[in-house]
Chains A and B, each alone.
Chain A
Amino acid sequence: MTTAAHLEEWTGENVSVALIEDALADLRRESCEDTEGPDLRTSVMTHIAWVPPEWHKAAWATLEGMAERHPSRAIVLVPGGADDDEDLDALVQVAAFSLPGERRHVAAEVIELRLGGRRARSPGSIVMPLLISGLPVFCRWRGSLPFGEQELEELTGIADRLVIDSREWDDPAADYARLAELFDRVAVSDITWRRTLPWRVALAHDWPEVGRCTELAVKGPSADAHLLAGWLRSRLDRRVRLAGEAADEVESVAVDGREVPRPPTEPVSSSDLLSAELETFGRDRVYEAAVTAARRE
């Protein structure tokens, strides 16, 4: 993680979007005053993060590790408050990072918005004015997806790509079926899917035996287990029973009772995992098929 060379910050309570735009413009100007020449704004996306309060700390830790790699505007939406609460509180930051061999800095912008109860139901109309023109929009949704609710409908209508981590869900097996309904509307990335990659590679090395698989035993998180099973079912086009045993990380995988050699893995930070998803465009058909098959025995 790189520390910002300098950081300008503004906060406001019960603000309007116009005030946030003004604050951003002021911060950019102030940021330039600390640098030789204006900061470079080489944005590659608008990154929306839907962050219920219980995910707040984790979301900021991830963001802080990403700013210099994905110069962008991050809009962190924190829903909460009473139903009749209409407040919109904002924290706006412009962070400037040094570049090797460059006297000028590259700027990243973060706008955190705390949405009162009623505002939280219609976040699309708050986010739209703040998107960077002409660039893709990624939406990282922390926690479970509220299928059928207005906030999810609106943000998936705006985003080019929805990034989730199905490990964060209470009941991934049940939610995969609902997730599949979104695929025609928005491209979806799942950080858990990325985590399963070393195990998928290890299973592929088991070819041709793995092609006759009837049962997959996974000791690990439920989401990882279901995605691995769904992947095998969809790739092999055959029924594969899943025998799951809960663990915090995938500890072992067995095909019809045979242990698959544990792949070499290195610890990857949440920023690295998200960063990898932010470099992916278009639909991931293999993932979509795995999700669709995740509930099928």
Chain B
Amino acid sequence: MAQTPEPCVLVVFGASGDLTKRKIYPAIYALALRRLLPENFAILGAARSDWTDEEFRHNMEAAVREFGRDEFRGDVWERLVEATSYIPLESADEEALDKLASALTELDGARGTMGNRVYYLAVPPVAMPQLAQALGKMHETEGWTRLIIEKPFGYDQASARELNELIWRHFKEEEVFRIDHYLGKETVQNMAALRFANGIFEPIWNRQFIDHVQITVGESIGLEGRAEYYEKAGAIRDIVQNHMLQLVALTAMEPPSDFTADSVRNEKVKVLRSIHTPGPKHVVRGQYGRGYVEGIEVPAYGEEPGVDSNSMTETYVAAKLFVDNWRWADTPFYVRTGKRLPRRETTIAIQFKRAPHPPFAEAAAEELRPNLLTIHVQPDEGVSLAIAAKVPGLGVRLRTVHMDFVYGGAFHVEMPEAYERLLLDAMRGDATLFTRADEVDEQWAIVDAIIAAWKRDRPAFPNYAAGTWGPPSADELLHRDGRSWRHH
């Protein structure tokens, strides 16, 4: 049973933005429906849009109806709407902050929120430092304060450090919750359960038994109106720096002594520190050209609205990483991410070494594939294990079969959205599923080194067609090692 948070006000900066509409507010509604919000609770939306309380409530109702995972219930909405208000904020200057402070004090009185604050910074990176500094200055002495910061956290290691320094001037590290929403996904959390709650996996979770690991974060969509952000970020900052390296860390980490925030994050940061910076031959970048997705022709990246036709932004990255420690020495972690790939898929595939001496005739086993444990983060959340089995009959013929555990089939409940879990955890002060400053720092160190190497050449973009699995050089990356990417 989830523990209900203490009374608090959740202040969402960037409340008129897409993230609030699609994820944050629907997540709040889902928590309200399940009675997981405190009795004394308030949501204060803050943004530049000159909305009234009524307009904000109206827009959020529409958002819940469109993007919520539950049926809309009038009684739940009535409870929530009483707790919802809005304040237009042009900037983070003194006048605006006074206005915000008064609104919060008023809410404390009206809603009994006791000076406890959760500030959710769902704002563009450029607005982050000024806002964090302003909030720091009005740090409440009464009650607790927590700061949720959306990705991207900085643009590189230097800017991330600068942002951390600025935040630490006003907030303690345990008050800071850097969101990587992948960590809120059930299947990502299930990785820990799979590894550490089952006796059978951990003894073989190492270089002796595992041939290699493949991690794929594939998107079939293109830019979806995010050209301004994506042109600056590219796939390496958008996905590799955060989601991808977190998935590597969770796969490779040592068992923590307990599941508290610091124990888990200590183990993850050890992995990140052990990742050998990949050389230029171990990293491939790409940009999609025209192609077909779901049977429809789609434009090249350079033809997307808002993108420079000569853009050198990468929409695809593949890399071969090594975790230089006792457990994983010489075991490659092949990672890839891209836009306009054939399918939306986030998977962690653990490929085990082949049986040393299968005592069967070659013909009996010609279709045998190595054992593969696949953790499906999305879609089809679950775990599947490919094993060899004898085909029923008088002869000995072997075939690969799958044992699937699918969340939707095994548990008769819908899985919570990542933002529900993360919002609830932040309100409760549990930072286990949030990234710590030193993790972010290590992630940027790896990414900065890759980007620095890229500055030395200018690849011929586009180099893969939309709807394909990336440039041919990505295939060569594995073929050189006698391996190949999973294509389905």
Chain A residues with a Cβ under 8 A of chain B = 16-18, 21-22, 24-26, 28-29, 31-33, 38-39, 41-44, 46, 86, 88, 107, 115, 118-126, 128-137, 158, 279, 281-282
Give the residue of A28, A44, A115, A133 whose beta carbon is less than 8 angstroms from that of B384: A133
B294 in contact with A32 (CB, 8 Å): no
**Bound CA span A17–B220, Å:** 10
Q: How far is the CA of A25 from the CA of B391 in the complex (A)?
A: 29
B404 adjacent to A41 (CB under 8 Å) = yes
Q: Is B295 an interface residue (CB 8 A)?
A: yes
Are A125 and B488 also in contact (CB < 8 A) when A21-B379, A43-B404, A136-B367 are?
A: no
Instruction: Write the nearest CB–CB distance from B289 to chain A, whole angstroms.
Output: 14
Does any Cβ of A come within 8 Å of B40's Cβ? no
| Nearest CB of A to B389, in Å | 9
Residues of chain B in range 396-446 having any CB-CB distance to chain A below 8 Å: 397, 399-404, 406, 408-410, 412
Shortest beta-carbon distance from B217 to chain A in Å: 15
Cβ–Cβ < 8 Å partners of A16 in chain B: 294
Q: Is the CB of B402 within 8 A of A128?
A: no
Question: Is the beta-carbon distance between B409 and A44 smaller than 8 angstroms?
Answer: no
Tell me whether B409 and A38 are in contact (CB under 8 A): yes
Name B's A-contacting residues (CB within 8 A).
220, 291-297, 342-345, 347, 349, 363, 366-367, 369, 372, 374, 376, 379-380, 384, 386, 391, 397, 399-404, 406, 408-410, 412, 467, 486, 488
Closest CB-CB distance, B98 to chain A, in whole Å? 46
Residues of B within 8 A of A121 (CB): 295
Residues of B within 8 A of A17 (CB): 220, 294, 343
Q: Are A88 and B295 in contact (CB under 8 A)?
A: yes
* A132 and B292 within 8 A (CB): no
Name the residue of chain B whose CB is nearest to the CB of A135: B402
Expressed in whole angstroms, the Cα–Cα distance for A262 and B291 within the complex equals 54
Residues of A within 8 A of B409 (CB): 28-29, 31-32, 38-39, 41, 107
Find out whether the CB atom of A128 lies under 8 angstroms from the CB atom of B488.
yes
Q: How far is the CA of A132 from the CA of B403 in the complex (A)?
A: 12
- Contacts A29-B409, A32-B409, A41-B406: A131 and B379 contacting too (C-beta < 8 A)? no
Residue of B with least CB distance to A33: B412
Complex contact B379–A135 (CB within 8 A)? no
Closest CB of chain A to B405's CB: distance in Å?
9
Q: Check A129/B342 contact, CB under 8 A, given A33-B412, A41-B406, A281-B366.
A: yes
Which residues in A have their C-beta under 8 angstroms from that of B488?
A: 46, 128, 131-134, 137, 158
In the complex, what distance in Å separates the CA atom of A31 from the CA atom of B380? 15
Contact A125 B295 (CB under 8 A): yes
Chain A residues within 8 Å of B363, by CB: 282
Which residues of A sit under 8 angstroms from B293, Cβ to Cβ? 125
- Residues from chain A with Cβ under 8 Å of B296 in the complex: 86, 118-119, 122
Identify 5 new A-B residue pairs, CB closer than 8 A, beyond the known A28-B409, A29-B408, A135-B386. Answer: A43-B402, A122-B292, A129-B220, A135-B400, A281-B367
| Minimal beta-carbon separation of B157 from chain A (angstroms) | 35
Known interface pairs A29-B412, A126-B295, A134-B488; A42-B401 also in contact (CB < 8 Å): yes
- Known contacts A16-B294, A29-B408, A133-B347: A128-B342 contact under CB 8 Å: yes
B374 near A134: Cβ-Cβ < 8 Å: yes
Chain B CB within 10 Å, residue with most, of A21, A24, A132, A134:
A134
User: Can you list 11 A-B pairs, Cβ within 8 angstroms, ordered by A?
Assistant: A43-B401, A43-B402, A121-B295, A125-B294, A125-B295, A129-B294, A132-B402, A132-B488, A133-B347, A133-B384, A282-B363
The residues of A that contact B404 with a CB separation of less than 8 Å are 41-43
Collect the chain A residues with CB atoms within 8 Å of residue B410's CB.
Answer: 38
Chain B residue numbers with a CB within 8 Å of A88 are 294-295
A281 to chain B, nearest CB (A): 4
CA distance A44 to B374 in the complex (A): 15
Nearest CB on A from B265, distance (A): 30
Question: Which listed residue, A42, A119, A282, touches B295 by the CB 8 Å rule?
Answer: A119
Question: Contacts A44-B399, A134-B384 given: A125-B406 contact, CB under 8 Å?
Answer: no
Nearest CB on B from A245, distance (A): 37
Are A282 and B366 in touch, CB under 8 angstroms? yes
Least CB distance from A23 to B in Å reads: 11
Nearest neighbor of A121 in chain B, beta-carbon distance = B295
Q: Which residue of B lies closest to A120 (CB)?
A: B295
* Cα of A135 to Cα of B372 in the assembled complex, Å: 11
The smallest C-beta distance from B428 to any residue of chain A, in angstroms, reads: 29
**Chain B: CB-nearest residue to A24:** B380
- Shortest beta-carbon distance, A128 to chain B, in Å? 4
- Chain A proximity of B213: nearest CB distance (Å): 14
- Across-interface contacts of B380 in A (CB, < 8 A): 21, 24-25
Contact B403 A133 (CB under 8 A): no
A25 touches B401 (CB 8 A): no
A118 to B296, CA, bound (A): 7
Complex contact A125–B386 (CB within 8 A):
no
